[in-house]
Chains A and B, each alone.
Chain A
Amino acid sequence: MANNTIPKKEFFAPIKAWKYMFRKPVTIKVPYVKREAAERYRGFHVNDWNECIGCATCAKICPTDAIKMVEVDDLPHEYGKKPQRPVIDYGRCSFCAMCVDICTTGSLKMTREYIHISPKPEDFVFAPTEKGIHGVDEVPIGWVRDDDSDLLELERVEMEMIEGEERAKSFIEYVKGYSKEKAMHEAARCVECALCTDRCPQHMQIPEYIKAIWKDDLKDALRWLLKGDESNNMLGANPFSAVCGRVCTHRCEEACSIGNRGEAIAIRWLKRYIVDNVPEYEKVLDDIKPAKKDKKVAIVGSGPAGLSAAYFLATMGYEVEVFEALSKPGGVMRYGIPSYRLPDEALDKDISFIQALGVKIHVGVSVGKEIPLQKLKEQFDAVFVSTGFTLGRSTNVPGTEHEDVIQALPLLREIRDYLRGEGPKPKIPKSLVVIGGGNVAMDVARSMARLQNMEYGSVDVKVTCLERNYEEMPADMEEIEEGLEEGVKFYPGWGPVRIIIDDDKVKGVELKKCVEVFDENKRFNPKFDEEQKLYLDADMVVEAIGQAPDYSYLPEELKEKLEFVRGRILTNEYRQTSIEWLFAGGDIVNGPDIIHGVADGYWAARGIDEFLTKGGK
């Protein structure tokens, strides 16, 4: 700036401003004129309580610690929701709207209201509802989250899998597992709301181990898996983490708060990532050296419930012996679930770990035949039975007595023994019909599809069930989708009439249309349209419509003392039956999956501990 550009002094220049004396003021008269805030204004909050799930993510992101979660008594206790709502302290709030941008449901918004007057300080600490701070019906909404301001990552990190046609050619495990980068990425999506922990039957400490993955501390993660909350009786520990990391029904993911707007965290795959990637698995429990207790516990059945009970009892210092009728331990995990979902190595890892704690497993010993239950009672201080559902149910339509109409469970057992090289090759039909819409039916269909591929190079498996569509079917949606990819055909909404047998050979199944599966009371009561018929060709028919327990090992005098509810044994919360030395768990008490069995084992172990500490029988 050269000197000459500096303005010269002018006497009249400032006086020109006098013209403004005759203009209207630019200011507005508050409070007579109400100034509307901008459309995006970040004012007081509103929170739609119907949408809010109490996940507390807003409280976690709040940079000024202005948000506290407060329990609300009259909210229902539901899975995937917590009976708590955010309370905002406007003495601290900086109106940054991060809470709005990270809200997992989108219930939290900001309004254009910015004036609130009260002589009482407590009026500025309030729980926003949909009516805002002034309790009006029509609150002018200000700042809301949009795609640009979203602070969550909604898409799941993709899991690498072998493609449908390729994987249907063998029983190789087709889910490849996360790499370190992918697992840490997936773990970084978690907001630690712990809705999953509430939902999990065993209340596994999911946010803790996900956080440990994110921090790349896998040893810590494994401790959370195997020891749970150590300050609280190992609550949430799961000795079958390798198994559950593969085949758990993952109810936790249904409760995941991220699932409200996006894809839930892949909790199951993350669990598997931990187990698969800690090399010194056994060393985690080096510090479990419980004081030996002079009491013995017998466990009948080596399924998830039985071995879990054994694990927890062993960590408490009890001497545990497990009795298994079949030649290998594991129950349904060994003989039910196909190996493309759960390879033997994963199961062996979990079981050998339990054995390393000193649990003795007697295989090939059938309680009730080789050893009567009464004898166990004499030799041991307490007995835990978890014998599972081993008998198949039949539709009992004409023709089911034919030898090529078989039950799902024995078939699955036969297939697994064959693949393990321990049994003869099962009969592989050229075309197969599976009756049933649950996960067992899927297991049969997909296993058979693989065997057919290996034997004949083509797949002809048809699945039919009463449920009218994929959503109604009890099987997991991903099982159905993956089955379709592997060449399995589905015929939902049909009920069997008879098995067509010609010349003493199974030729197919005659089906009638099912119009309704459940009646208005939501009870199973199928209605059929007898006019509509469907014929499916088959050389073999497999019935997979459910299983039943086999209580033949229970002596009559015990059976009389026990209480049964719809085929299941009634227990208290510590899985203690009406006979005080007898505890029960697994499918015969709760069902229907592995993680419920683990939970049964856990609570039974605590029940047995309490029972024996008090003096025992």
Chain B
Amino acid sequence: MGEVKLFFGPNHPGMHGNFSVHMYVEGDTVVKARPLPGFLHRGFEKLMERRLWYQNLALIPRICVPEPDINEVVYALAVEKLANVEVPERAQWIRMIVLELARIAVHLMSMAGIGGPLGLYTGPYWGIADRDRILDIFENLSGARIYHMYIVPGGVRKDMTPKVQEMIVKFLDYLEGRLPEFENLIFKNRIVQTRLRGIALLDRETALEMGVTGIGLRATGVPYDIRKVDPYLYYDKVDFEVPTATEGDAFSRVYLKFREIPQSIKIIRQCLERMPEGKVNVPISEGNALRFRVPKGSVYVHVEASRGEYGYYVVSDGGEKPYRIVVRGASYPQTLYGIEKYLPGTRIEDVPIWLDTMGVCAPEVDR
């Protein structure tokens, strides 16, 4: 039997977002794979150059749909660094709460995501339903469920009310009770273990060479987490652990996500406790938002997203719009280089698992 060219995506239930892979298969085994990005290309980076500093807030969350807040934080941190603005303490704690809630939301969604390629559809139902509770919190906090546009340069747009804090505490209690059930359903599941363990291996040297970060790297035993190696916000003031594994397979990656949830809960509880009262916003520049100007300079700011190191390189020429912004998508290396390098040799049915656990995210490539 000869080589068959197989088009996988962009419209396929096992595909993550608007992304496509062209695979040459022999039998069930992939011989050659070529990633095909571009279906989601909206020119985010170029669009940002044509919008005012403040207007960009409506655009940047769209670079990552499941976890839009990292974009807001990275952008805000970069602009604040350029403008040399001291952000009120309360705002920083609120930002951390938002980021960790978003991290939990993404991880819950990946509990759902792994159900798809495995055919375990209870996972998606549970994951999405519990994630919705986080979206309810976001709705009460920021006024929107998905694109919050809440974290702005200079702070956050509105204060966190006691009602929202109560909601968060209630949710965290609820989630802690739910975690064993997730473990029972997914990770102790015989089928999941059989299908995921030893599949989609990534070794440490290649991961480092390609620039894979986040869970992908931590699953090979490297405790690389921006929150620890280059703390932003107040991550150096809170107590939490970075779980790692040594297997580097699909199972360890998914399970690491799961093990990060209790750590995030721990961080949020500390934030709620230590958050002082006070202002949540300072203007980044003189004048009104139409005339905000950011001093000349360039800066690279990175945070730990659920998929790895996520960064913006922002250049300002001192004007009312950014001169240039480059987005370092967390999944960029594994999406473009990883697919070419690692998919050959994989069986077709394992390809979605590889893509899912490596956190392939089309807009981060197409930004």
Binding site for B on A (CB under 8 A): 1, 3, 6-11, 13-14, 16-17, 26-27, 37-42, 57, 60-61, 63-64, 94-98, 101-102, 110, 142-143, 146, 148-149, 151-153, 184-185, 187-192, 214
CA distance A582 to B287 in the complex (A): 48
B56 at the interface (CB under 8 A from A): yes
A49 to chain B, nearest CB (A): 23
| B259 with A151: CB separation less than 8 A | no
Of the listed residues B184, B285, B287, B293, the one surrounded by the most CB atoms of chain A closer than 10 A to its CB is: B287
CA distance A38 to B160 in the complex (A): 13
CA distance A516 to B27 in the complex (A): 103
CA distance A17 to B129 in the complex (A): 15
CA distance A187 to B285 in the complex (A): 13
Report B-chain residues with C-beta under 8 Å of the C-beta of A63.
Answer: 51-52, 55-59
| A101 with B181: CB separation less than 8 A | no
CA distance A608 to B25 in the complex (A): 88
B291 at the interface (CB under 8 A from A): yes
A158 to chain B, nearest CB (A): 13
B77 to chain A, nearest CB (A): 19
B194 to chain A, nearest CB (A): 8
| B158 with A149: CB separation less than 8 A | yes
Q: Chain B 169-196 against A: per-residue CB contact (8 Å), 1 yes, 0 no?
A: 0000000000001011111111001100
Given A188-B286, A189-B288, A148-B185 contact (CB < 8 Å): no
Residue of A nearest to B136 (CB): A38
| B57 with A61: CB separation less than 8 A | no
| A61 with B187: CB separation less than 8 A | no
| B139 with A41: CB separation less than 8 A | yes
Q: Chain B 137-181 against A: per-residue CB contact (8 Å), 1 yes, 0 no?
A: 001111110010100000111110000000000000000000001
| B288 with A39: CB separation less than 8 A | no
Given A26-B129, A37-B139, A148-B279, A8-B158 contact (CB < 8 Å): no
Report A-chain residues with C-beta under 8 Å of the C-beta of B56.
Answer: 63
Residue of B nearest to A149 (CB): B157
B256 at the interface (CB under 8 A from A): yes
Among A40, A188, A190, the residue within 8 A (CB) of B140 is A40
| A60 with B129: CB separation less than 8 A | no
The 3 closest A-B pairs by CB, nearest first: A188-B287, A13-B188, A151-B289
Residue of A nearest to B157 (CB): A149
CA distance A599 to B290 in the complex (A): 31
| A17 with B184: CB separation less than 8 A | yes
Given A61-B55, A102-B288, A102-B289, A1-B246 contact (CB < 8 Å): yes
| B143 with A97: CB separation less than 8 A | yes
A326 to chain B, nearest CB (A): 45
CA distance A189 to B285 in the complex (A): 11
Q: Can you spell out 7 A-B residue pairs with CB atoms less than 8 angstroms apart?
A: A3-B247, A9-B193, A63-B51, A148-B155, A148-B158, A148-B279, A188-B287
| A191 with B58: CB separation less than 8 A | no
CA distance A190 to B181 in the complex (A): 57
Our count of residue pairs bridging A and B at CB distance below 8 angstroms stands at 147
Among A14, A102, A110, the residue within 8 A (CB) of B290 is A102
CA distance A135 to B285 in the complex (A): 39
B243 at the interface (CB under 8 A from A): yes
Report A-chain residues with C-beta under 8 Å of the C-beta of B289.
Answer: 61, 98, 101-102, 151-152
Given A60-B290, A149-B281, A101-B157 contact (CB < 8 Å): yes
Report A-chain residues with C-beta under 8 Å of the C-beta of B259.
Answer: 1
| B188 with A9: CB separation less than 8 A | yes
B223-264 CB contacts (< 8 Å) to partner A: 243-247, 251-252, 255-256, 259
Report A-chain residues with C-beta under 8 Å of the C-beta of B159.
Answer: 148
Report B-chain residues with C-beta under 8 Å of the C-beta of A102.
Answer: 288-290
B303-320 CB contacts (< 8 Å) to partner A: none
| B59 with A17: CB separation less than 8 A | no
CA distance A189 to B291 in the complex (A): 7
B122 at the interface (CB under 8 A from A): yes
| A13 with B158: CB separation less than 8 A | no
| B157 with A16: CB separation less than 8 A | no
| B286 with A153: CB separation less than 8 A | yes
A157 to chain B, nearest CB (A): 9
B351 at the interface (CB under 8 A from A): no
Report B-chain residues with C-beta under 8 Å of the C-beta of A190.
Answer: 287-288, 291
B280 at the interface (CB under 8 A from A): yes
Given A13-B185, A17-B184, A153-B286, A64-B139 contact (CB < 8 Å): no
CA distance A96 to B152 in the complex (A): 12
Report A-chain residues with C-beta under 8 Å of the C-beta of B142.
Answer: 40
Report A-chain residues with C-beta under 8 Å of the C-beta of B244.
Answer: 1
B283 at the interface (CB under 8 A from A): yes
B8 at the interface (CB under 8 A from A): no
* Given pairs A7-B187, A27-B129, 11 additional interface contacts (CB within 8 A): A7-B183, A10-B184, A10-B188, A13-B185, A98-B57, A101-B289, A148-B280, A153-B288, A185-B286, A189-B288, A190-B291
| A64 with B158: CB separation less than 8 A | no
Report A-chain residues with C-beta under 8 Å of the C-beta of B147.
Answer: 94-96
CA distance A187 to B290 in the complex (A): 11
Report B-chain residues with C-beta under 8 Å of the C-beta of A191.
Answer: 288, 290
B75 at the interface (CB under 8 A from A): no
| B189 with A13: CB separation less than 8 A | yes
| A188 with B291: CB separation less than 8 A | yes
| B288 with A152: CB separation less than 8 A | yes
